[in-house]
Amino acid sequence: MLLGHGPTDDAHEEFVQVVKALDACNVVTALGCLQAVEDHLLSHFESEREWMVRTAYPNMDCHLDEHQKVLDSVSEVNQLAKAGQVGLRDVRRLAAALADWFPKHVTYLDSALSTWITKRKHGGAPVILRRDISAGPQQASVFA
């Protein structure tokens, strides 16, 4: 899911790691993992918002609206978990939902933003070089 914009690619790698940890959490680690996901999203989404504002990104409202919906869902589950109103199964369902949502978001919204930023900064679209192209066009899940 590399897009060719280093800061975005780094944030996406961190997202994958915190969601993997959330999916693998147990009753002892669940609250910490939920908080890590929420903290990451706050930082990640704020960085993207700043890039959109700084570059006058034309599709900012739609992109930010999706971010807010995801953040609201994560925050709600986090608050319910802190209050003891959701269990480990619900936390794992959230992890699965995030893992399902993320590739679509990257493909449709973040790729457009990355291209926009790179064109504004360098005058052209990002170029992504991959070492192992023998796998063909199928993309394995980064959450597997």
Tell which CATH classification among 1.10.3720.10, 3.50.70.10, 3.40.1080.10, 1.20.120.50 matches the domain 6-122. 1.20.120.50
Single-letter amino acid code for the residue at 52: M
* pLDDT top residue among 69 and 135: 69
Tens-place pLDDT, residues 5-62: 788 889 999 999 999 999 999 999 999 999 999 999 999 999 999 999 999 999 999 9
From residue 45, give the alpha-carbon distance in Å to each of 14, 41, 122, 138. Answer: 13, 6, 23, 28
pLDDT score at 120: 86
Residue found under tokens 């790729």: 111
| 90 contact partners, CB below 8 Å, separation of at least 6 | 77, 80, 81
DSSP labels, 71-101 = HHHHHHHHHHHHTT-S-HHHHHHHHHHHHHH
Residue found under tokens 């619900």: 90
Mean of the per-residue pLDDT values of the chain: 90
Domain boundaries, the chain: 6-122
pLDDT score at 129: 61
Q: Are residues 35 and 25 in contact, defined by beta-carbon separation less than 8 angstroms? A: no
Percentage of residues of the chain with pLDDT beyond 70: 85
Joined tokens for residue 38:
């929420």
Q: Is the pLDDT of residue 97 over 90?
A: yes
